[in-house]
Structure 1
Amino acid sequence: MELQFKRHRRLRQSANMRALVRETYLHKEDFIYPLFIVEGENIKNEVPSMPGVFHLSMDRLKAEMDEIVSLGLKSVILFGVPADKDAEGTGAYHNHGIVQQATRFIKGHYPEMIVVADTCLCEYTDHGHCGVVEGSKVLNDPSLNLLVQTAVSQAEAGADIIAPSNMMDGFVTAIRHGLDEAGFTDVPIMSYAVKYSSSFYGPFRDAAESTPQFGDRKTYQMDPANRLEAFREAESDVEEGADFLIVKPALSYLDIVRDMRNEFTLPIVAYNVSGEYSMVKAAAQNGWIDEKAIVMEKLISMKRAGADLIITYFAKDAARWLSEK
């Protein structure tokens, strides 16, 4: 009896055949590389929990940017780590704030580079929360006013994209209104629309020095158990004027990335967060995995799930590996 079955292996017989039918590709333009800018001079200190990621002072930024440009990367996202913090995070919205300074420098020396400004207060507040605090409660509406001031100051400094990450209700409409009133109608908003209260953020909080001094962020970031809530959050941001939608974290939430891709036509951004980065780095340093193979597989999974862009600490490594082909 002749067996009847399909021969799927015909399209896998050689590297060229596999490339011919490959469905998903990574490009350097897909990546947004995070930078942590600190106050001071001659500082390039590796973040202990994030090998290969550094705190950089302004005088060390040019060398870093030269490398980024040489690798063919087109976009960076800036996080500031100020020397002084206070209850309202005033360093976030001063025109001489560290992110504002870095933005002016980058746009002045590398005008084609896309600068995304992370718009939050947690790195700048002495309590480590993403808004105004009263007692043990993070207040929603008073926080919006400070976030608008921050977004406008970042746009004034030359930021190409404003990326609010605070998860206050109404933050997109408040920032859109504030930007428009200030004359920045053409500056888009890359909303952290779907941001889960995740354990994968630990190393980032070391890098940004933003660990909450009390409680946690579960009253404003999403419960990892919830899927339908992501639709509600994203739908609100779309209605309020978001131009991009971020899903954060990425790797454990690829189902949500796919949901957002299927539901919305805006560009979808996957944030490959610090914990996802550090786990791979630790395993690679112990010789347990092939770092390049693992990283590229992770990144391709995010694109395959529907992400158009990926914020990742692996951007420089991935750009090098793509150049090797």
Structure 2
Amino acid sequence: MTKADNMLSILWMLRAGRRKTAKQLAEALDIHVRTVYRCIDSLCVSGVPIVAESGPNGGYSILGRFAESPLMFDEDEQKGLVHAAIFAKEAGYPHSEALARATDKLKRYANDKQLESLERHGVGLSVIYPPLDGVHQTYLQMLEEAAGQGKTLKMTYDKGRGEIAPPRLFDPYGIVYWKGSWYAVGHCGYRGEVRSFRIDRIRALHPTEGRFERPASFSARDHLLGKLLPDASGSQAMESVRIRAQQQVLDELCRHWLFGHALAERQPEQALFRLARSTLITYVPYLLMPYGTALQIESELLVERMRAASARLLAHYDAMRQPNLDEGDGAQ
């Protein structure tokens, strides 16, 4: 470890409240005793109130007042870091290993009561996300670092169904995690505009010598959502849709990202949505199908689209079912 790591580790160990000798600190960190002395001297110069006591029961300790300093993490903050590390690892966060090392330090130098609390809260939380493979985990980290340093990358991208687009220069303005997938948002040199790309469709990514400046106040999150939500500028035709259902059903529907943003009016057992017509005739019927007959829809257009989508679904499965019925009849 670096000297800074050693100093921080010693600080955490002393903060646990137990007096430690230089030998004990050296053995715990697998460093030389002289290194411990130098780190203690540096901590004292930095203003840390370390008390040295000689004798058989002597050693180094830290004033309780400093241990309660806001520079340290309290119990809730430590729990938050442990939970954040779990979320980050499962979501494929590019620096999850660094966050895991940080939480390991929390546990390593916590006192017995703190350690018991951290372990108990850690096993009490589970997260299920589709993981990225090793290659795309590397791409995600490259994109995050390039976004932070303003470095242009060269990217090869799969547009879908195996159709590979020509390589392009890409200025990553930021990365966004949305609905189980990571996206990179930035300026595409091939299209000459700001676009978003799914990380798991990137086929190659290489650094270049190019540099860029992110536009002031640009939000990768807002840009990505702006491409998905109804057009607030009024350039798209909008339709009003009133849906009646039990309160619990409507609560679940309103938690969906599309319907939640389109909600215009809500009552316990009915909700009014303002949806783009193009969305209404394409995606919405299939989003509502899982609710079956639990919904009463007041929109002639949407009802007609639901009927058409249901008919296509029925015809599809009828076509799959008919040969089996013929075989059964023949056997009789």
As a proportion of its length, which structure holds more helix? 2
Same fold (TM over 0.5): no
TM-score, normalised relative to structure 1: 0.21
Larger Rg computed on CA atoms:
2
